[in-house]
Amino acid sequence: MARIKNMFFVLLTVAFLSGLIAGCGGVSEEQLKQLNDLKAEVESLQSQVNAKEGERSSLLKQIADKDAKIKDFQKQTDQAKANCK
């Protein structure tokens, strides 16, 4: 029984090491270039996102300012109507 356990452990170790060696082939130059290209693309896209978020904030502020003006004009219009009655 101990011999079977020992043999099983040896076979398991050999299988693990062979899988480890086969799976660690390294990174090719092409894969490294692709990775660097993707990193550069991510940085570019993040810059675009940040610019669009800034633009969105500016537009939201403009909308809020226009809404405030509309409310002010509506209030003035209501006051003028009330004064004419």
- pLDDT digit string (tens) for 10-42? 666 766 666 656 556 677 899 999 999 999 999
Please check whether residue 69 lies inside any domain of the structure.
yes
Please check whether residue 30 lies inside any domain of the structure.
no
The set of residues, in sequence order, having a beta carbon less than 8 Å from that of 35 and lying 6+ positions away, is 27
Please check whether residue 82 lies inside any domain of the structure.
yes
- Domain residues for 77? 50-85
74 pLDDT above the threshold of 60: yes
> Number of folded domains in the chain?
1
Give pLDDT, residue 1: 65
Please check whether residue 79 lies inside any domain of the structure.
yes
Please check whether residue 61 lies inside any domain of the structure.
yes
Residue type, 75: K
Q: pTM for this structure?
A: 0.55
Q: What is the mean pLDDT of residues 77-85?
A: 89
Measured in whole angstroms, how far is the alpha carbon of residue 83 from the centre of its chain?
56
Taking the alpha carbons of 71, 73, 75, 81 in that order, is the dihedral positive or negative? negative
The DSSP 8-state label assigned to residue 21 in this structure reads: H
